[in-house]
Amino acid sequence: MDAISVIRAKRDRGRLTDEQIDWIIDAYTRGEVADEQMSALAMAILLNGMDRAEIARWTAAMIKSGERMDFSSLPRPTSDKHSTGGVGDKITLPLAPLVAACGAAVPQLSGRGLGHTGGTLDKMESIPGWRALLSNDEMMDVLREVGAVICAAGDGLAPADKKLYALRDVTGTVEAIPLIASSIMSKKIAEGTGSLVLDVKVGSGAFMKNIEDARELASTMVGLGTDHGVKTVALLTDMSTPLGLTAGNALEVRESVEVLAGGGPADVVELTVALAREMLTAAGLPDADPARALADGSAMDHWRRMIIAQGGDPDAKLPVAREQHVVTASASGVLTGLDAYAVGVSAWRLGAGRARKEDPVQAGAGIEMHAKPGERVVAGQPLLTLHTDTPEKFDYALAALEGGVTIAPEGTDFTPNPIVLDRIA
């Protein structure tokens, strides 16, 4: 077996054999296949695709490259959620304790933000004392004690994916659906959860800009989960407008706590409850009522216990940026557009995100939104408040917002997109 033969097979639109896939993933993980060779294969996959059997075998080979976790000793059924990433997407924060309050265990292995999309671990690390890095034993202890944990994935889970993901990021092959699907699902299957709900974002602020591509990705991932014995369902959800009224780390934690306290923006509450119902049904708890768990305080109780179990102080003040800048409405009328990508890039430029995985982030940086599409606004009223510790970034952040806010004349009939666009099972 050699790398050139495998590259040529896919370059010439052939189907890779199981043996070729197993060998190339193992050899690349061990360093026997060079980065430039795997880059060529990734580009061939981007251009020529893979069938379902190839993707399933590729995913299995990446799972086999590392360890698999086992939650069978827990007294609760397990269910997890994965989002493909968006702007203002703080859903994991209220969702994990909410599902735990309803009787399931949530082993939520999360990541950090890159570019205009936020990362769950960056948000959580704005809570003083909270730890993302837990050993497997610590993770199990928190799951037994609380029922939910949000933490970083260990290096032992699908190391082939970690190496390949870094390569795709710098070779223009991130968009390959077979590689996206296998990347996400290899980690989630290796994680060992009993069921999985996928939140596949669609729109300007999402990786998938149109619903056809999102549906293809969702169907591929649902198929992979099913093939590996994990009950999997996907919701396609709107990301043309940011979720909630905040984009930024500490800002989004604050909003998540408002949701757990029974308030918060309607779209965040709606999606949190919808995903919770899917997770609970997949875990065999269809009669659990997540809306009640938000209302009666049990979800908040699980949040506080989860934060404390991971070294954090749920009562500590969250970081606040030193400088603010207010953007006002240029005219009166109906707000018909608040582009998620524009807001995400602006928040990133303010310091809420990173360009490289090694970059630091500002916990207090980000954007507050004072109106959402469909609402009437008056000229001069605040639309956005920009937060940063580095005020020299305001002009750069404001440039990203140009064209991202649309105000139509009074009386314009406008209906925002629904939050949940489709369901794939």
User: Is residue 201 within 8 Å of residue 208, measured between CB atoms?
Assistant: yes
168 flagged as catalytic: yes
Domain check: are 114 and 210 in the same one?
Answer: yes
Catalytic residue among 57, 116, 123, 187: 187
Q: Is the pLDDT of residue 99 over 90?
A: yes
Q: Residue 176 and residue 178: Cα distance in Å, rounded?
A: 6
Domain check: are 286 and 351 in the same one?
Answer: no
What is the percentage of the chain residues whose pLDDT exceeds 90? 91
Q: At 358, is the secondary structure helix, strand, or coil?
A: coil
Catalytic residue among 65, 183, 240, 346: 183
Strand partners, 368: 246, 385
pLDDT at 334: 97
Domain check: are 142 and 20 in the same one?
Answer: no
Neighbouring C-beta atoms of residue 163, cutoff 10 Å? 17
Catalytic residue among 57, 76, 123, 168: 168
Query: What's the average model confidence in pLDDT over 315-327?
Result: 98
pLDDT at 115: 76
Confirm whether 355 is domain-assigned: yes
Question: Residue written as tokens 């050899």?
Answer: 27
Least confident of 119-133, 160-174, 175-189: 160-174
Q: How confident is the model at residue 409 (pLDDT cuts 50, 70, 90)?
A: very high
325 flagged as catalytic: no
Domain check: are 86 and 112 in the same one?
Answer: yes
Query: What's the average model confidence in pLDDT over 25-29?
Result: 97
Q: At 59, is the secondary structure helix, strand, or coil?
A: helix
Confirm whether 314 is domain-assigned: no
167-195 burial, b for 16+ CB within 10 Å, e for fewer? ebeebebeebbbbbbbbbbbbbbbbbbbb
Domain check: are 256 and 120 in the same one?
Answer: yes
Q: At 258, is the secondary structure helix, strand, or coil?
A: helix
Q: Is the pLDDT of residue 358 over 80?
A: no
The CA-atom distances, in angstroms, between 23 and each of 5, 19, 61, 65, 352 are: 12, 6, 9, 11, 40
DSSP string, 140-178: HHHHHHTSEEEEEPPTTS-HHHHHHHHHHHTTT-TT-HH
Of 276, 309, 342, the last residue of a domain is 309
12 flagged as catalytic: no
Domain check: are 262 and 285 in the same one?
Answer: yes
Domain check: are 252 and 336 in the same one?
Answer: no
The CA-atom distances, in angstroms, between 100 and each of 14, 94, 107, 324 are: 46, 10, 10, 37
DSSP count for the chain of H helices, then E strands: 16, 13
Catalytic residue among 161, 199, 227, 267: 161
Q: Residue 92 and residue 83: Cα distance in Å, rounded?
A: 9
- Considering its fold, how many domains does the chain have in total? 3
Query: What's the average model confidence in pLDDT over 307-312?
Result: 98
Query: What's the average model confidence in pLDDT over 233-242?
Result: 98
User: Is residue 253 within 8 Å of residue 123, measured between CB atoms?
Assistant: yes
- Give the domain CATH number at 174: 3.40.1030.10
Strand partners, 208: 202
pLDDT at 174: 83
Query: What's the average model confidence in pLDDT over 310-314?
Result: 98
Query: What's the average model confidence in pLDDT over 370-375?
Result: 97
Confirm whether 358 is domain-assigned: yes
Question: Residue 355 belongs to what domain range?
Answer: 323-408
Continuous segment of H or E residues that includes residue 377: strand 376-377
187 flagged as catalytic: yes
Q: Residue 17 and residue 60: Cα distance in Å, rounded?
A: 13
Domain check: are 100 and 242 in the same one?
Answer: yes
236 CB-near residues (< 8 Å, 6+ apart):
200, 202, 211, 214, 215, 218, 420, 421, 422, 423, 424
- Give the domain CATH number at 39: 1.20.970.10
Q: Which of 241, 278, 411 is nearest to 333 (CA)?
A: 411
Query: What's the average model confidence in pLDDT over 29-33?
Result: 95
Domain check: are 254 and 284 in the same one?
Answer: yes
Q: How confident is the model at residue 123 (pLDDT cuts 50, 70, 90)?
A: very high
Domain check: are 112 and 226 in the same one?
Answer: yes
Question: Residue written as tokens 């949040």?
Answer: 303
Q: Which of 143, 148, 224 is nearest to 190 (CA)?
A: 224
Confirm whether 295 is domain-assigned: yes
User: Is residue 293 within 8 Å of residue 95, measured between CB atoms?
Assistant: no
163 flagged as catalytic: no
Q: How far apart are the first and last CA of the chain?
A: 37
Residues 155-164: tens digit of each pLDDT: 888 999 989 9
Domain check: are 223 and 348 in the same one?
Answer: no
